[in-house]
Amino acid sequence: MSAITVWRHPRPDGANGLCVGARCDLLVDRRRAKRLARRIQAHARRHRLVQEVWTSPLRRCADVGRWLKRWGWRHHIDAALSEIDFGAWDGRAWAEIPKQQIDDWVRQFAGFAPEGGEPLTALMARASSWSGGALVVSHGGWMLARRWAHERPEEVPEAHRWPRPPAYGERWEL
């Protein structure tokens, strides 16, 4: 697995209380997207990195890449950088999802997939095998999956041990 610097996208509008995954393409305030793009630009300048960024196709990530593209960067969009696909849950209020389904997910955390969605094991495989470039804007779930797969390759994640996602705009070296 090659080393990358990845930022979690800025806080999207309207996400409170919702199950937000790969199908829920929420907007990000343009100022927040531009602010993160400036931070990425400064990081690249400080470390003398190529002006090239990879992002998820979802607007909360891709809008950051579009700002960088306006400033002369190469911007690549790659669906492999998308958040986990929560299928039928995606975009629904957590309170509307039947408790039994949530309980099933907690019990079978790594292998459970909501109807039409993907299990965590699929996200982990997708994230750990990604080998695009050095600078990335992606999602909290993707970042956690890549880190887990790298640091604990033999360990199957369980709900009670799964870490909290990084803060919006947070940078990780993976």
pTM above 0.85, yes or no: yes
Sequential DSSP letters for 68-122: HHHTT-EEEE-GGGSPP--GGGTTSBGGGS-HHHHHHHHHTTTT---TT---HHH
* Domain 5-173: assigned CATH number: 3.40.50.1240
Q: Where are the domains of the chain?
A: 5-173
CA distance 113 to 172: 27
Residue 39 has pLDDT above 70, yes or no: yes
**Average pLDDT of the chain to the nearest whole number:** 97
Give the tens place of pLDDT for each residue, 82-138.
999 999 999 999 999 999 999 999 999 999 999 999 999 999 999 999 999 999 999
